[in-house]
């Protein structure tokens, strides 16, 4: 804290104040001139590309800062601080360009946004902070600041910082390499989509686990310390963290077993839901009917019965009950029901749709139509479309469908 106050001492120096003033002027001028009409046509001929005629703000500011450097040198002033700010501005500008020109083209928007907001921008922000700290102090010395002792090992600020950064990068950045290995395995070994996702998750767990082991070693934890942690955990498992641990182990078990994997379709509370993620504690399922995401503790799947549409194949059988007056011959109705179902988009040809008579009444006959669809989650839409098609087909005869 005292060191931070003492950094204010730099503001007592004319060299620093002049440079700060130059930075402020350069930035303000760049912004004004960029949009100014009087710096118009003569300076912005139409043959120049648009980004030069009206450059992005960051580019204009960086350019103005770079131009300020020789001016300061001509005036016999130091200019290293202006150069540093210009370099940092250029780095942020470069990141924006990478995001706009590369990431948005190569990756899907969600992935690009995640990569940018969780990895690239935090990394550059961290680098900027470290460069700033190094400018006013000695980073190496700051890294040696003692942070106390953990299980007999002295921990300093630098090692703690390294551990946090490495673990963050592993948790956030292990996704793409795991994806790549999963993709190769899927191609090479002919894995299913679910198996690929399971493999990715396992790889990420493995990387993070290795990272935690490295972190403990890096912090200099001795074996006694690790045993103490293990002992503490074993007591904790009996009390507070039992559920957490149970969910974690259940998640791993389910992955190995392959019964609940990302991409699987399960019936939860009577509705088909797709498994989106199998996390450390809970699985995230997507319910198509209302676009809700359900967070279900892993041990639920481990301890209760779960119906799946994607165990051995992904087909789902739909059933419709149709009730018609007995004005039509049952054989004709059965034939027409099967024809309409077979013609319906989304209904599989093989296995074929099958209609049968369920119950013969005094005035009405009840039929049952069974059909197969490839995507278990689209049953509701296909069922609805099929009902419409049947209604049109049997019009003007009254038909009751459910």
Which residues here bind another protein, judged by CB under 8 A? 2-3, 5-21, 23-24, 27-28, 31, 78-81, 83-84, 135-138, 140-141
In the bound state with another protein, the residue whose beta carbon lies nearer, of 23 and 272, is: 23
DSSP string, 197-260: HHHHHHHHHHHHHHHHHHHHHHTT--HHHHHHHHHHHHHHHHTTTHHHHHHHHHHHHHHHHTSS
Dihedral through CA 66, CA 70, CA 76, CA 77, nearest 10?
Answer: 0
Smallest distance, another protein to C-beta of residue 93, A: 14
- Residue 305 token pair: 């019965």
Give the integer Cα–Cα distance in Å for 146 and 156.
4
Give the integer Cα–Cα distance in Å for 112 and 105.
9
In the bound state with another protein, the residue whose beta carbon lies nearer, of 80 and 217, is: 80
In the bound state with another protein, the residue whose beta carbon lies nearer, of 27 and 112, is: 27
Smallest distance, another protein to C-beta of residue 66, A: 15
Smallest distance, another protein to C-beta of residue 240, A: 40
In the bound state with another protein, the residue whose beta carbon lies nearer, of 69 and 322, is: 69
Smallest distance, another protein to C-beta of residue 85, A: 10
Give the integer Cα–Cα distance in Å for 85 and 74.
19
In the bound state with another protein, the residue whose beta carbon lies nearer, of 134 and 257, is: 134
Smallest distance, another protein to C-beta of residue 146, A: 9
Question: Coil, strand or helix: which one is 283?
Answer: strand
Sheet of strand 364-373: strand arrangement: 354-360, 364-373, 316-325, 399-401
Dihedral through CA 344, CA 275, CA 314, CA 343, nearest 10?
Answer: 0
Dihedral through CA 16, CA 19, CA 23, CA 29, nearest 10?
Answer: 140
Smallest distance, another protein to C-beta of residue 81, A: 4
In the bound state with another protein, the residue whose beta carbon lies nearer, of 79 and 116, is: 79
Give the integer Cα–Cα distance in Å for 266 and 301.
10
Helix (H) and strand (E) counts for the chain?
Answer: 17, 11
For helices 14-35 and 57-74, the axis angle rounded to 10 degrees is 140
In the bound state with another protein, the residue whose beta carbon lies nearer, of 16 and 294, is: 16
- Exposed, middle or buried by CB within 10 Å (0-12, 13-18, 19+), for 146? exposed
Smallest distance, another protein to C-beta of residue 131, A: 11
Smallest distance, another protein to C-beta of residue 155, A: 16
In the bound state with another protein, the residue whose beta carbon lies nearer, of 6 and 400, is: 6
């Amino acid at each position: 804290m005292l060191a931070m106050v003492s950094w204010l001492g730099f503001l007592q120096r004319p060299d620093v104040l002049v440079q700060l003033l130059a930075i402020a002027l350069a930035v303000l001028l760049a912004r004004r001139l960029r949009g100014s009409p009087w710096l118009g046509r003569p300076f912005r001929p139409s043959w120049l590309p648009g980004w030069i005629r009206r450059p992005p703000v960051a580019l204009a500011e960086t350019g103005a800062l770079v131009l300020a450097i020789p001016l300061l040198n001509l005036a016999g002033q130091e200019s290293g601080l202006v150069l540093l700010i210009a370099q940092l501005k250029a780095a942020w500008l470069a990141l924006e360009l990478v995001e706009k020109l590369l990431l948005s083209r190569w990756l899907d928007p969600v992935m690009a946004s995640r990569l940018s907001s969780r990895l690239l921008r935090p990394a550059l922000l961290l680098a900027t902070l470290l460069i700033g700290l190094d400018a006013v102090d000695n980073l190496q010395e700051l890294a040696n600041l003692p942070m106390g002792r953990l299980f007999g090992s002295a921990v300093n600020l630098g090692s703690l910082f390294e551990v946090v950064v490495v673990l963050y990068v592993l948790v956030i950045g292990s996704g793409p390499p795991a994806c790549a290995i999963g993709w190769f395995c899927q191609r090479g070994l002919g894995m299913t989509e679910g198996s690929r996702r399971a493999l990715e998750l396992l790889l990420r767990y493995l990387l993070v686990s290795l990272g935690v082991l490295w972190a403990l070693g890096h912090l200099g934890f001795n074996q006694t310390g690790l045993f103490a942690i293990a002992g503490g955990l074993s007591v904790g498992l009996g009390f507070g963290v039992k559920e957490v641990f149970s969910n974690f182990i259940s998640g791993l078990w389910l992955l190995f077993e392959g019964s609940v994997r990302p991409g699987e379709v399960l019936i939860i509370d009577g509705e088909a839901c797709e498994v989106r993620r199998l996390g450390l504690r809970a699985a995230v399922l997507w319910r198509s009917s209302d676009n809700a995401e359900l967070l279900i503790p892993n041990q639920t799947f481990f301890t209760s019965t779960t119906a799946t549409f994607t165990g051995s194949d992904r087909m789902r059988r739909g059933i419709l009950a149709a009730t018609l007056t007995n004005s039509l011959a049952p054989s004709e109705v059965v034939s027409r029901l099967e024809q309409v179902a077979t013609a319906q988009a989304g209904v599989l040809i093989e296995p074929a749709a099958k209609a049968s008579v369920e119950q013969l009444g005094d005035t009405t006959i009840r039929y049952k139509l069974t059909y197969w669809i490839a995507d278990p989650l689209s049953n509701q839409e296909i069922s609805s479309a099929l009902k419409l098609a049947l209604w049109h087909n049997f019009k003007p005869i009254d038909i009751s469908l459910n």
